[in-house]
Structure formats: C-alpha cells, structure tokens
A and B are shown apart, each in its own frame.
Chain A
Amino acid sequence: ETGVTQTPRHLVMGMTNKKSLKCEQHLGHNAMYWYKQSAKKPLELMFVYNFKEQTENNSVPSRFSPECPNSSHLFLHLHTLQPEDSALYLCASSQVGGEWTKNIQYFGAGTRLSVL
C-alpha cells in the first residue's frame, strides 16, 4: 500500500457516458497529479494541483475535467471520451516546498480505462 488509493481499478465506458475517477492520498502531501499511461508512450502529465490550486494543465482536452476539493482528494471527471483515451490513469502525490523537499512522487495503482 503506497498511501495513494485510486478507485475504481478498472472501468469500461461508452463514448457517451459520464464517469469519474477518484484518488485519495493518506500521506499528508500538498500536491496531487493525474498522469496518463498509454502503451508504447512515456507517462504524460495531465494536471497538477498544489495546495488545491491547479498549476498545470498540459493541453488536456476538455472532456477531462479535474477537481480537487481538498489536499487529500482528487477527481477526474470524464465525459464523451474517445477510444484513444483508453489507458492507465495514474494519480500521484508529493510534498513540495520547504527545505527537505525531494519531490518524490508517490503513485496509486491506477485505473485501467477502456472506452468502447
């Protein structure tokens, strides 16, 4: 258990569905991240939240909508996805700022998303 929990672990959805991915971190960190991992490609950073504020949106299509209600929870709302959005979606958290900051990111196990 890494301290970062993602649900659901697997999700199959149609192109017209609306679903949400959830991430919760139990590490007391102040930053959270969404990544997309597709076959044969490097991990792609999607969104970054520092202290609940979005600081990075890496040109992600608007059909992906993040929400960070507090520093422990992060959601990714999905709607009208495309088959090419099928991938492993990983959440991570880290502690940033301060003298002892090594920016180690701790990852959840991911949600395997299939869009039909």
Chain B
Amino acid sequence: KQEVTQIPAALSVPEGENLVLNCSFTDSAIYNLQWFRQDPGKGLTSLLLIQSSQREQTSGRLNASLDKSSGRSTLYIAASQPGDSATYLCAVSPTYGNNRLAFGKGNQVVVIP
C-alpha cells in the first residue's frame, strides 16, 4: 500500500522567505505526482503535476521537483507572501489508467507579514 508522508506538518515563515515543503512516498512505481493547495474549509486546487518521466515543473513562484527512484518530491515557493498561507497536499497516482490518488496529510503553512 502506497504511503505518502509530508514533512514538516506545520511551519511558519516571515514574508519574503523561500518555502521548502517535502513529500516522500514508499512505492516508487508512480504515474505522476501532484501538489495541491487547500484553504481552510475549502476544496483542493491543483498547483503542479509532474509526470513520472519528468524531474521538475515550474509555475510562477512555484517549483516542484521529483526524484522518483528515491521516492521524494519537494515544492519550493519563492519569496513567500501572506496569501501563500494554506495547507499544501502531495498526492501520487499509481499507474496509467488508475486514478486512485494517495494523499499525504499536508504541510500547513503560515506566512507572517
């Protein structure tokens, strides 16, 4: 059974600092990995998706890397802003055609103005 772990569970940073969020997974046979954002009481918004054949994806201030063989992904958020305060969730998809995502518990981030 795939297990996804996110460290740290919670963190606070001053505005302007770079954020580094870590995700690890136990089974490296994945099809893709996604990072989601969740605001309190809301649903999830997909931020970045990395195919298993890719090493990284970038969108604006966000950069996600994937080391499939070691079962790790890192989400970098450059020059953090108070609006980045949210919970960030990592999820892996097992194989092509299997849409059963396995989620981590999330990294709860607070950016202090």
Contacts and interface: CB of A to CB of B under 8 A. Distances in A.
B43 interface: yes
A42 B104 contact: yes
A50 B98 CA distance: 11
Nearest to B90: A42
Interface stretch (B11-19, B44-52, B58-66, B74-82): B44-52
Contacts of A34: none
Contacts, number: 63
Contacts of A88: 41
Interface residues of A, number: 30
A43 interface: yes
A2 B49 contact: no
A108 B38 CA distance: 11
Contacts of B72: none
Nearest to A90: B43
B34 interface: yes
Contacts of A43: 89, 91, 101, 103
A45 B99 CA distance: 10
Nearest to B41: A112
A102 B32 contact: yes
B99 A108 contact: no
B45 A2 contact: yes
